[in-house]
Amino acid sequence: MLDFATYQTRAQTTAVYPGRGEGNYTYPALGLAGETGEVCEKLKKAIRDEAGAISPERKALLAKELGDVLWYIAALSTELGLSMEDIASANLAKLAARKAHNTLHGDGDLR
């Protein structure tokens, strides 16, 4: 089983970009946006070409792109001095509180 802390540490062994480790959040943020766009592009083409069905081949491609998204999340988190485990835990706690207060729907970060 792979946890977020181990993933984040291992991801850094393959991080090669200008200013790595010096608080360069711009490079991984741009990479994250690009990879997220690739996920959306593959889903868009499923809608256009396959009436929204996700073939096994497309699912495999999406899994690879989602892996790239995860890598950039790890890189960005590291550059910002954040732990992916802390981020994930805080996110689950936030969503649980919203569910408890019946505010999962709606707008704004501070619901």
**CATH code of 49's domain:** 1.10.287.1080
Residue 42 lies inside a defined structural domain of this protein: yes
Residue 20 lies inside a defined structural domain of this protein: yes
Residue 108 lies inside a defined structural domain of this protein: no
pLDDT average per 10 residues of sequence, the chain (111 residues): 97 96 96 98 97 96 98 98 98 93 77 60
Q: How many domains does the chain have?
A: 1
For residue 28, give its domain range. 4-82
pTM of model > 0.85: yes
Q: What is the pLDDT of residues 42-64, one digit of tens each?
A: 999 999 999 999 999 999 999 99
Q: Distance between CA atoms of 58 and 45, rounded to whole angstroms?
A: 10
Q: 31 vs 57, 65, 105, CA distance in Å?
A: 24, 12, 29
Phi, psi of 41 (to 5 degrees): -65, -40
Residue 41 lies inside a defined structural domain of this protein: yes
From the number of C-beta atoms within 10 Å of its C-beta (0-12, 13-18, 19+), residue 99 rates as exposed
pLDDT at position 104: 82
Q: Assign residue 93 a region: left if phi > 0, alpha if psi is -120 to 50, beta otherwise?
A: alpha
Residue 94 lies inside a defined structural domain of this protein: no
